Amino acid sequence: MASALINVPKKAKRGDIIEIKTLMSHIMETGYRRTATGELVPRDIITSFTCRYNGVEVFRADLFPAIAANPFITFFTVATESGKFDFEWIGDRGFTETASAAISVE
Amino acid sequence: MSAVPIVTLRPAEATPAMLASAIRNVVGAATVQTGKVKIDVPPLVENGNTVPLTVTVASPMTENDYVKSIHVFNEKNPQPNVGNFYLGPRAGRAQISTRIRLADTQKIVAIARLSDGSFWSVSADVVVTLAACTEEVI
């Protein structure tokens, strides 16, 4: 079903600013579309995305229906220490997905 | 390709008044200055369903002077909010990218909240030839 694509550099020098790219497959149904018979299709979106670096939140986003399907979000962070990035997506209808990526910092 | 959309049922558009009130909800009574923020978005898009958007804020991103959050709004989608992005001094660079939906040719507004409590904004105009949101589900 849902799946994540994460792009985090495997290695970085301490103090480097690294770019993190994330994509979560999700329909992001806006709740404003109607079927051919005129019924409103209920909203089904991801509402929140969080990135933690060794347990500390470094980036968070609130998403709205105006975010395109399969939300793609990129941002930056400073490579401070080796460890793990944890990503979490939360959405309507109890949607919740996580992913993680390791980084080694020299 | 989907069929040519024949739009018979249009959702209510976010009006400039809704845009203004959505911005008020974020900035409160503070004044919003123009500058520091840059929006990268194609000026003309064929398909409003997925429009690449990058927002960059000029900031040194140090412990004492950094961007707290970036808020993106639109003028004419059914809802004025696009996304709120929360950064911190650890971001290193105040830049975010995503892909958005645009229901019509319209204005996009990005507002940055800095660590000193000031707000900075910029707007960009996008011409959309095929709108998002309004097509029927097949």
Note the pLDDT of residue B133. Answer: 58
Q: Is residue B107 part of a domain?
A: yes
Examine the pLDDT at A74 and tell me if it is beyond 50.
yes
DSSP string, A53-96: ETTEEEEEEEE-TTBPSS-EEEEEEE--SSEEEEEEEEESTT-E
**Pick among A24, A29, A32, A49 to test the B interface (most B CBs inside 10 A):** A32
Domain count, chain B: 1
CA distance A16 to A77: 8
Q: Is residue B58 part of a domain?
A: yes
CA distance B39 to A19: 18
Is B10 in the A-facing interface, judged by CB distances under 8 Å?
Answer: no
Note the pLDDT of residue B6. Answer: 47
The CA R_g of chain B, rounded to the nearest whole Å, is 16
Q: Is residue B103 part of a domain?
A: yes
Q: How far is CA B123 from the centre of its chain?
A: 8
**Which tokens in the block code for residue B126?**
């996008």
**Pick among A13, A22, A67 to test the B interface (most B CBs inside 10 A):** A67
Q: Is residue B41 part of a domain?
A: yes
Cβ <8 Å between A68 and B96: no
Examine the pLDDT at A105 and tell me if it is beyond 70.
yes
* Phi, psi of A44, deg, nearest 5: -150, 90
Note the pLDDT of residue A38. Answer: 86
Q: How far is A20 from chain B (nearest CA, A)?
A: 10
Note the pLDDT of residue B15. Answer: 75
State the average pLDDT for chain A. 95
Q: Is residue B92 part of a domain?
A: yes
Chain A residue closest in CA terms to B96: A75
Nearest to B85 among A17, A18, A61 (CB): A61
Residue-number span of the structural domain to which B70 is assigned:
36-130
pTM of the model: 0.90
ipTM of the complex: 0.94
Q: What is the mean pLDDT of residues A47-65?
A: 97
Q: Is residue B19 part of a domain?
A: no
Residue-range domains of chain A with CATH:
4-105 (2.60.40.10)
Note the pLDDT of residue A2. Answer: 56
* pLDDT less than 70: residues of chain B: 1-14, 133-138
Note the pLDDT of residue A18. Answer: 97
Note the pLDDT of residue B13. Answer: 66
